[in-house]
Amino acid sequence: MKMRVLIYVLLSALPLILSFVWLREVLAVDAALDGGASWNYVTGQADYSLNHPYISFHSRHPILIAASLASLFAGLIFGFGIHRKDTEGDISNVPT
């Protein structure tokens, strides 16, 4: 049982890392725009002299997003498998 929980936690870690990376960038961009700068998405820095075009997060980090979605999907399937194994043989779930 402990090994299944560990695997589930590891599968859930990558989507959490993606969320952290995205949120950190959103906050940095917001702070730069509030300060009157333009955000350079290539270098990840505020630029007070030039305007830079918007480059979406998914076009800059496609592998991170694909791995995160795969990990999330695998975690959901694995979690459903844990739930099914835990409820097998439990007669309290059988409709009467």
In the predicted model, residues of the chain with pLDDT beneath 50 are none
Q: Which structural domain, as residue segments, surrounds residue 45? A: 11-89
Whether 22 is covered by a domain: the verdict is yes
Whether 1 is covered by a domain: the verdict is no
Residue 76: per-residue pLDDT: 80
Residue 94: per-residue pLDDT: 53
Residue 84: per-residue pLDDT: 60
Whether 44 is covered by a domain: the verdict is yes
Whether 96 is covered by a domain: the verdict is no
Domain count, the chain: 1
Phi, psi torsion values for 47, nearest 5 degrees: -130, 120
Contacts of 72 (CB under 8 A, 6+ apart): 11, 12, 14, 15
Residue 88: per-residue pLDDT: 56
Whether 78 is covered by a domain: the verdict is yes
Residue 25 gets the label, from left (phi > 0), alpha (psi -120 to 50) or beta, of alpha
80, 91 contact by CB (below 8 A) = no
Whether 46 is covered by a domain: the verdict is yes
